[in-house]
Structure 1
């Protein structure tokens, strides 16, 4: 077609046609999450907003630095970049896309960005299917210039938050990975133990294929993962542009391994572009990035969406119930939209172990059998720039609703850092004290109290879909 046009017109027409073809090939943002007939949309973000603005703080939290606090160095993968929240690394492009861009400074230091969903309860309903999907254009760079680029769209099991050393047992679903600008998408399951184990860690159980049609780097493609609990054995499936390229069945691993990665509250999603690390280095056969690697090539994300199909509650019978701290002081199985409340300052006093002007959340009329487990929770808290603040949580169980708290658990307070941004306060801080015993709930009550144990400034507690508690009761 171009040869014919050359004979009839001049270079300007050729350039115009090339621009048109390029625009068609890359298929810019659609502006909305596409419909998925037969599926129920549970959560989504289509990244609309002004150019340079950060992604929605209600939906996403931004990871910073070289690792989680107390977690493995270099995010456990050997990647070399520093993650930042700078608009140079992370922001909306104004055209309906999220842009994650690795950069290199004059001294050769790399920066990039990594974000994760605030929600960590994405899970296939009992007897149904979970669908995780995103439309992404990988960084448009190939060859020597691409060495070290490692874009990814993936999910981690919720128990990882606040622990950071229980990988891979809690499960990891890599919906899309790519390294070194190769025209290929990898889909990988990580589980079990490391090294070795049923998932051959640190490799995982994976497969790869070239992107259909245009290359992964030159155009948007749709990457999808399905967790299917409607079939026996259950299945995990990976797709690119609706083409299935990888399947892992439940009987591929032992029952304990499968239960460890599927029996918890669910998963949170991540988007990032790493530089260097074990995967790109291994594929290249040497350390990456190199002097030939070019900075400034962005991964573009049009939308991220979660659907379910069929089944019943996402909390099937025989599993502990997850309750969300909801606006107005309720505890419920549905979190609703993200909201916040202020946790009062401790006023410079020490209130360790004793609630002081707490934010209180209550669920009544709860019936369920005690399953022998223990309380778990994940609270999003932020003390801003105030130093030496510590939030504390107490959970109380009234088994019959008669006004007597039969089991009371107080957890060690969580010392937040003096930097803006939410942090995770989890049961990993440890139990400070406990009185009474668990037993079956029959029209009972569950109470959660959050207060400042120490410090001289207020804190913010994320509510709605942001903070949750998992009680050791089968309520299905």
Structure 2
């Protein structure tokens, strides 16, 4: 009998038995995140917690529905499932693993889960190396029963948050992808423009290989990605169980493409199990999933960790200077640890274009030659569950520090969604107004003001190593 035609009781029993079988067959979690000699652990989660609990809300946010707010439908890839935050789809197993489980109801509708790190600043330090890694087991299902399964462990460039239409230019590193229960891991770089472009979109620059030893589905394997800025040209590398199987060199891409995917705040990490979509459909050669696809086979994740090695932790000199927004109202070249400040409520009024109780950040005694470019910024903002809040920024330049602001730029406000979690407000919103002109700075000042232009609630503004302004001076 086909699963989708089963009675509700039979459906529930089949799902429960599938989950139990998968868990009993899976090797246990390793335990603590391993140490790597010569590397510094920057962030990790080993998914320790009680069975049935959701992953840490400090570390992760859970995507729900069929798309990001205002983003492309079906997550831009034609997936058929709806993502939920139900423990039936995403939860800890009590044994040190995260479990993401796709399910199908009696009507044939699929649900699953997708989570992403709250942090979006994972980036190789200047002159150093970034390593992103997970030890996980793909859903233990193969053959016709696996058609449509699409588990993934990957990273997206931070400017994607709040925009959702700038892919693939902002960069995507697929550390582990698999489809249809095939004993293979795919590692892929997405960049440039789509279709076509330097990364051959929508396919990307990828490679694949079978998992060493045990199959990808039957056992845990370790999937790693390295971004190496200590080498010239820079290198991107993909590994499974420590074995290199794919690499991309900086000199394979044009300078603009490489810059667009690397010269931003960094990346956030995602884990998900999709059902159907362009990748599994293309590999299978027909629409997936099918009536033979079996639900209830989870991806098990032992840990996710991010390390760095070497490097000075600061950006090298370049055509622009990066100034981080810091607690206490300073703008500095070093960001410090992540923190936040509160933006006062707009009180239901409209303060579009006029600072209202702004948080103000200033850098003094700034000297630099104007390079002919434009201001850029990436501000972490979060309105929590407040509806119709909008944050706005004004950047001002005082060339000589005498109190006269020769160049003032006010950008269109950014309407945050009523879902807790950082969003990215960037210069892509466009200039609302600008006055004066740029010129060389000689002991000058740069001022950044951020406020709520609309709405009736407060908002949070990320500071430290989170929000920055890039000024066009050398």
* CA spacing shift, 1:320–1:98, aligned 2, 3 Å: farther
The equivalences for 1:80-99 within 5 A come to: 80-99=80-99
- Match in the other structure for 1:344: 344
Answer with 43-52 or 165-174: which moved more. Answer: 43-52
Judge conservation of contact 2:156–2:173 (CA < 8 Å) in 1: yes
- Match in the other structure for 1:288: 288
* CA spacing shift, 1:260–1:425, aligned 2, 3 Å: closer
Answer with 378-387 or 190-199: which moved more. Answer: 378-387
1:468 paired to 2:467: yes
Q: TM-score under structure 1 normalisation?
A: 0.85
Gap runs ≥5 in structure 1: 1-21
- Partner of 1:88, secondary structure, is coil
Judge conservation of contact 1:393–1:451 (CA < 8 Å) in 2: yes
* Shift of residue 77, structure 1, vs aligned partner: 1.1
Gap runs ≥5 in structure 2: 1-21
- Partner of 1:281, secondary structure, is helix
What is the aligned residue count? 453
- Partner of 1:428, secondary structure, is helix
* Shift of residue 403, structure 1, vs aligned partner: 3.8
* CA spacing shift, 1:367–1:124, aligned 2, 3 Å: farther
* CA spacing shift, 1:383–1:171, aligned 2, 3 Å: closer
- Match in the other structure for 2:180: 180
Distance 2:441 2:63 in 1: 39
- Match in the other structure for 2:161: 161
- Match in the other structure for 1:269: 269
* Shift of residue 241, structure 1, vs aligned partner: 0.5
Judge conservation of contact 1:150–1:179 (CA < 8 Å) in 2: yes
Distance 2:373 2:162 in 1: 18
Q: After superposition, what is the alpha-carbon deviation per residue over 1:137-170, rounded to whole angstroms, capped at 9, x for unaligned?
A: 1122222221111111112223333333332233
* Shift of residue 27, structure 1, vs aligned partner: 4.3
- Match in the other structure for 1:11: none
Judge conservation of contact 2:265–2:378 (CA < 8 Å) in 1: no
- Partner of 2:129, secondary structure, is strand
* Shift of residue 433, structure 1, vs aligned partner: 1.4
The equivalences for 1:63-212 within 5 A come to: 63-212=63-212
* Shift of residue 62, structure 1, vs aligned partner: 2.7
* CA spacing shift, 1:424–1:229, aligned 2, 3 Å: closer
Distance 2:23 2:134 in 1: 20
Answer with 214-223 or 277-286: which moved more. Answer: 214-223
- Partner of 1:144, secondary structure, is helix
- Match in the other structure for 2:434: 434
Distance 1:266 1:419 in 2: 22
* Shift of residue 179, structure 1, vs aligned partner: 0.6
* Shift of residue 400, structure 1, vs aligned partner: 4.4
Q: After superposition, what is the alpha-carbon deviation per residue over 1:326-373, rounded to whole angstroms, capped at 9, x for unaligned?
A: 444444455555544432222222222122222333444555554443
* CA spacing shift, 1:441–1:353, aligned 2, 3 Å: same
Distance 2:243 2:24 in 1: 21
- Match in the other structure for 2:260: 260
- Match in the other structure for 2:15: none
* Shift of residue 288, structure 1, vs aligned partner: 0.9
- Partner of 2:69, secondary structure, is coil
* CA spacing shift, 1:444–1:274, aligned 2, 3 Å: farther
Q: TM-score under structure 2 normalisation?
A: 0.86
Q: After superposition, what is the alpha-carbon deviation per residue over 1:223-267, rounded to whole angstroms, capped at 9, x for unaligned?
A: 111122333333221100101111222333334433333333432
Distance 1:370 1:42 in 2: 35
* CA spacing shift, 1:208–1:114, aligned 2, 3 Å: same
Distance 1:321 1:48 in 2: 41
* CA spacing shift, 1:413–1:216, aligned 2, 3 Å: same
* CA spacing shift, 1:254–1:376, aligned 2, 3 Å: closer
Distance 1:324 1:90 in 2: 35
Distance 1:134 1:321 in 2: 34
Q: After superposition, what is the alpha-carbon deviation per residue over 1:12-36, rounded to whole angstroms, capped at 9, x for unaligned?
A: xxxxxxxxxx999844333322111
Distance 1:265 1:280 in 2: 32
Judge conservation of contact 1:55–1:98 (CA < 8 Å) in 2: yes
* Shift of residue 290, structure 1, vs aligned partner: 1.3
Answer with 397-406 or 179-188: which moved more. Answer: 397-406
Q: After superposition, what is the alpha-carbon deviation per residue over 1:182-217, rounded to whole angstroms, capped at 9, x for unaligned?
A: 111101112232222332222122111111122212
- Match in the other structure for 2:383: 383
Judge conservation of contact 2:161–2:423 (CA < 8 Å) in 1: no
Root-mean-square deviation (CA, aligned residues, Å) is 2.8
Distance 1:106 1:254 in 2: 50
